[in-house]
Amino acid sequence: MGGEVRHWNADVNGISLHVADQGPADGPPVLLIHGFPELWLSWRHQMTALAARGFRTLAPDLRGYGDSTVPDDPAAYTIFHIVGDLVALLNHLGLTKVMVVGHDLGAQVAWHLCLFRPDMVRAVVNLGVPFFPRGPNSLTEAFAGCDGLYIMQFQAGMKASPF
């Protein structure tokens, strides 16, 4: 039904990205961008369905996740780095235009890919996170009053952590 998932790594943008790839190599490419705290595996069902319909699906583990490189410096995780990794991956594969699907954190990455490199995006579908422009406050400050939001619960847990 779409073939087996192929796993490989691409050395791009100074790191190694793990990529799960399914479907015909010459099929229309769909870039699937996972959320937090997820991996390529979050897309396994969608990959199979799309591959069965002739699409090539590419689901990388973003930097810092899964089998991709985990840079030590927190400054290496800006949206510019993450989008740069995906642009470098597409260039590595010789893909000039892709359909992009993002979920959660991946939706923010997808929105920024569209903003930074609209020439590389044929279409975009985002799940769970609407576009919102950068504001004067950090996300932590912007969501400070949202105690039930999982992002804020994670932050609170980190502050209480002995690590």
Query: Which backbone phi and psi does 147 adopt, to 5 degrees?
Result: -60, -30
User: What is the spatial distance between Cα 83 and Cα 105, in angstroms, rounded to a whole number?
Assistant: 12
In a domain, 1, yes or no: no
Split at pLDDT 50, 70, 90, the class of 163 is very low
Residue 52 sits in the same domain as residue 113: yes
Domain count for the chain:
2
Residue 107 sits in the same domain as residue 151: no
**Domain hosting residue 146, numbered range:** 134-163
Q: Which secondary structure element, helix H or strand E, spans residue 16, and what is its range?
A: strand 15-22
In a domain, 153, yes or no: yes
In a domain, 76, yes or no: yes
In a domain, 145, yes or no: yes
Residue 99 sits in the same domain as residue 143: no
Split at pLDDT 50, 70, 90, the class of 162 is very low
Residue 34 sits in the same domain as residue 21: yes
Residue 17 sits in the same domain as residue 73: yes
Split at pLDDT 50, 70, 90, the class of 155 is low
Residue 66 in tokens: 């899964």
Which residues pair with residue 21 across a beta bridge?
6, 58
Residue pair 30/52 in contact by the 8 Å Cβ criterion:
no
Q: Higher pLDDT residue, 152 or 77? A: 77
Supply the CATH number for residue 81's domain.
3.40.50.1820
Split at pLDDT 50, 70, 90, the class of 40 is very high
Residue pair 112/132 in contact by the 8 Å Cβ criterion:
no
Residue partners of 68: CB distance under 8 A and separation at least 6:
9, 15, 16, 17, 18, 60, 61, 62
User: What is the spatial distance between Cα 139 and Cα 99, in angstroms, rounded to a whole number?
Assistant: 27
Residue 132 has pLDDT above 70, yes or no: yes
